[in-house]
């Protein structure tokens, strides 16, 4: 009997993470739903289970090592395997560097860079034991380009691309891959708040932020759909992607082609 593959998606109760979790559940994966709020994670897992999927809920703050360790300690509940890790959890803060609270800068780095590194470190022994693993980082176009007032976010997203390249070299001896998906703006609650914050910082309307800042560099002039990211995750998680590792998959409507 072939064991069901398991996918752990961090920050999987809303936005991109929720979309990925639901899509993988439909494909037959056992899904580990995780969030800093356990009750919300439990609600999402219950919804997936009621829809015919298979999900477990975990409290997981990727900046807290004890939370990470607790997930691995419960590995028997998911057949001692994490086949796919999607490092998705994210936060944002928009401010000039001179006014950027030091603790916010540190927190963004911990969530977006240190957290994925520690999650990867935690799951690699299980992946090596099964000679299979797909680590997929949800990066950002800001891993390739910069925007003002996002110094911590841009630095961390650039960092995750470099981190992925290193781990690709370290895991090349087995059927384990690591890649980073870098979308341009996706209409999520995180981006909705970012629109408001950016409008305030620039002293312009939210409509002007969307049209003149966010979509202006994109030849296609459109937000990226969560379904596009789900499709990219599906490919990177598949056997067909066994030789795609250390790569950056860019979904940007032609932004960086300029």
CA–CA separation, 233 vs 115, rounded Å? 19
CA distances from 177 to 23, 71, 85, 92, 137 (A): 20, 21, 10, 27, 11
CA–CA separation, 9 vs 23, rounded Å? 11
CA–CA separation, 256 vs 243, rounded Å? 24
- 185 is annotated as an active-site residue: no
Residue of 21, 10, 6 lying closest to 87 (CA atoms): 10
Active-site residue identified among 29, 93, 153, 185: 153
Instruction: Report angle CA 108, 109, 114 to the nearest 5 degrees.
Output: 125
CA–CA separation, 234 vs 241, rounded Å? 10
Residues annotated as catalytic are 153
């Amino acid at each position: 009997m072939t064991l069901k593959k398991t996918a752990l998606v961090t920050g999987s109760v809303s936005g991109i993470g929720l979309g990925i979790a639901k899509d993988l559940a439909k494909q037959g994966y056992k899904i580990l739903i995780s969030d800093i709020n356990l009750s919300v994670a439990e609600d999402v897992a219950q919804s997936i289970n009621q829809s015919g999927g298979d999900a477990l809920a975990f409290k997981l703050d990727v900046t807290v090592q004890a939370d990470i360790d607790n997930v691995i300690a419960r590995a028997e509940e998911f057949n001692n395997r994490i086949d796919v890790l999607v490092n998705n959890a994210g936060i944002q803060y928009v401010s000039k560097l001179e006014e950027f609270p030091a603790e916010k800068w540190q927190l963004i780095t911990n969530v977006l860079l240190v957290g994925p590194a520690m999650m990867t470190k935690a799951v690699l022994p299980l992946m090596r034991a099964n000679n299979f693993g797909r680590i997929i980082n949800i990066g950002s176009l800001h891993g390739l380009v910069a925007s003002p007032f996002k110094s911590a976010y841009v630095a961390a997203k650039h960092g995750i691309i470099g981190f992925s390249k290193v781990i690709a070299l370290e895991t090349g001896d087995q059927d384990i891959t690591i890649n980073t998906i870098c979308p341009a703006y996706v209409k999520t609650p995180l981006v909705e708040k970012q629109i408001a914050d950016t409008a305030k910082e620039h002293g312009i309307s939210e409509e002007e932020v969307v049209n003149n800042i966010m979509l202006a560099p994109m030849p296609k002039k459109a937000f990226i759909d969560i379904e596009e990211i789900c499709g990219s995750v599906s490919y990177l998680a598949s056997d067909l992607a066994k030789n795609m590792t250390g790569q950056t998959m860019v979904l940007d409507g032609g932004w960086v082609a300029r």
